[in-house]
Amino acid sequence: MKVQVKVSQDAMEAHMIVSAEPNEEISKEDLLSQLKSHGVVYGIMEDAIENIVKSKIFDKPVLVAVGKKPVDGKDGQIVIIKPEQTEDGQSIADKGKIDLRELPARMRTIVKAGQTVAEIIPPTEGEEGRNVLGRVLKPKVGKPPQLKLGRNVRLIEDGKKVVAAVDGILIAATDGTIDVNEVLNVQGDVDYSTGNIDFPGEVRIKGDVKPGFTVKAKGDVVVGGVVEAATVVSFEGSVSALGIKGREKGIVKAKEEVRAKFVENAVVEAGKAVIVDGPITNSQIKAGEKVIAKGSKGVIVGGTISAGFYVEAEEIGSELGVSTHVEVGVEPEERERMKVLKAQLELDRENLSKLVAVYKTLKEIMDRNQGKLPPDKIELFRKVGQSMINLRNNIELAERELEEIQRRMREKYMFAKVIARRVLHPGVEICIFDKRYYNDKSLQKVLLVLEDEQVRVGGYSGDSEV
């Protein structure tokens, strides 16, 4: 018997060629001994050896050993964690009708402070290999991920996770940089390409906010163009825009201020001030402190203007006598509460009057029947009496609240005023606190204040507050 063992150049395979007489006896142990004598000690295929012996495979190369290739380590990864809910607050899995204005918002990843935005998966070392000669083959170790911490993010859990330090929009760049931006920048218009916006920071829009769209932000909203028949809300900051065209749709609202170059057919509300560098036309304006139309074109024509302390414009009303209503001396919310209380008092007093009439009728029946009522009237009598007690209590509480609001407002807004820097036109109704004045003629440079429980009209020669 003659045995040849051939090891491949990379020592990852070994072949055996056995030469023997047809009737010559060979054994598995002999062949294994031959492999060992040639240095082949790993990956031996004993089934192949047995097959040579059993089937008498002679003078042919047979693969009898195979090495194990090393498994290189995997490179580390940065895995961005997508929230289960999108900017619009809907679950990604939600089904049903889809508003096309909401679709682009689902592409923006909005995160909260403390939220995990990425996980760092470390590289692996890989697995060692071995050739048929028993030599260990080292794998390539994986490379660590290229992580670059940008703004408003930090590492936790020994560098295994990245969390947001603030509320904002998650931005993951191709170079491995992770940012959370507190400002959402829109390079063009808010339309179907951007969708509605609901952002926990500041929003800056270069273009317009198109009709029917909504922009809501925790911080300031700055619109380079026009807000047109759209809704724009700043929950904790201010709103500024080139102009506001309401077309009797949508609303612009801010906790602090609303500023624009013009306001037309719009609803605007501000916790502090509405300041317009131009005309305010046919609009519903509410401000906790003041409303000012600045400049030579700063006129207020039509609509209702409500402010806590101060309303000022170059002109109020128009030569055509357009109905214009101006209210100062009560916060818009307080005024609304007073209206509700007055309406509720009127309704409660009317209902109480009706119940008193029913009660008297039942009492007359009792008097005629020696203090007794028919069985079907006893429960009614009890309910009427209880309802009268409840209504009297409600009326008393409402009267107290109304008196308290009026007292507080008198003290707080005793210096409230309305100023027409050039002209107060006929057709303008002025309300300071609860006193009204209707102007029926053109007046030049007017200052209106509350004095001795009356609206006093005087001359104006001062400077604007802004």
- Are 201 and 168 within 8 A, CB to CB? yes
Of residues 51 and 333, more confidently modeled: 51
Q: Is the pLDDT assigned to residue 341 strictly greater than 50?
A: yes
Residue 332 pLDDT level (bands cut at 50, 70, 90): low
pLDDT-above-70 percentage for the chain: 93
Is residue 172 predicted with pLDDT exceeding 90?
no
What gap in Å lies between CA 418 and CA 437, rounded to an integer?
11
CATH class name, domain 77-125+142-181: mainly beta
What pLDDT does 84 receive? 54
Q: What pLDDT score does 159 carry?
A: 84
User: In the chain, pLDDT over 90 holds for what percent of residues?
Assistant: 65
CB 161 within 8 A of CB 115: no
Tens digits of residue pLDDT in 82-126? 765 444 444 434 434 444 455 555 567 888 899 999 999 999 999
For the ranges 7-16, 75-84, 134-143, 178-187, which has the lowest average pLDDT? 75-84
Q: What is the pLDDT of residue 102?
A: 56
Pairing state between β 299-307 and 177-181? unpaired
- 439's CB contacts (< 8 A; 6+ apart) are 317, 424, 425, 426, 427, 428, 429, 430
Local confidence band at 373 (pLDDT 50, 70, 90 cut-offs): confident
Rounded to the nearest angstrom, the gap between the alpha carbon of residue 175 and the centroid of all alpha carbons in its chain is 28
Looking at every residue in the chain, the average pLDDT score rounds to 89
What's the pTM value of the predicted model, to 2 decimals?
Answer: 0.68
Could you tell me which residue, 339 or 305, shows the higher pLDDT?
A: 305
Mean pLDDT of 68-93: 73
Output the pLDDT for position 61: 95
pLDDT for the residue numbered 93: 40
**Where does the pLDDT of residue 335 fall: very low under 50, low under 70, confident under 90, or very high at 90 and above?**
confident
Using the predicted structure, report yes or no on whether residue 22 has a pLDDT greater than 80.
no
Range with the largest mean pLDDT of 16-20, 189-193, 272-276, 318-322: 272-276
Highest mean pLDDT among 176-180, 214-218, 371-375: 214-218
Confidence tier at 229 by pLDDT (50, 70, 90): very high
User: What per-residue confidence (pLDDT) applies to 362?
Assistant: 87
Place of tokens 């470390």: 122
Residue 173: predicted pLDDT: 82
- pLDDT of residue 321 exceeding 80, the answer is yes
Q: Check whether 361 has a pLDDT greater than 80.
A: yes
pLDDT confidence of residue 465: 52
Q: For the segment 236-281, what is each residue's pLDDT rounded down to a tens digit?
A: 999 999 999 998 888 999 999 999 999 999 999 999 999 999 999 9
pLDDT tens digits along 411-464: 766 778 999 999 999 999 999 887 899 999 999 999 999 888 888 998 888 765
Nearest residue to 13 (alpha-carbon basis) of 45, 50, 51, 36: 45
The answer, yes or no, to whether residue 157 has pLDDT greater than 90, is no
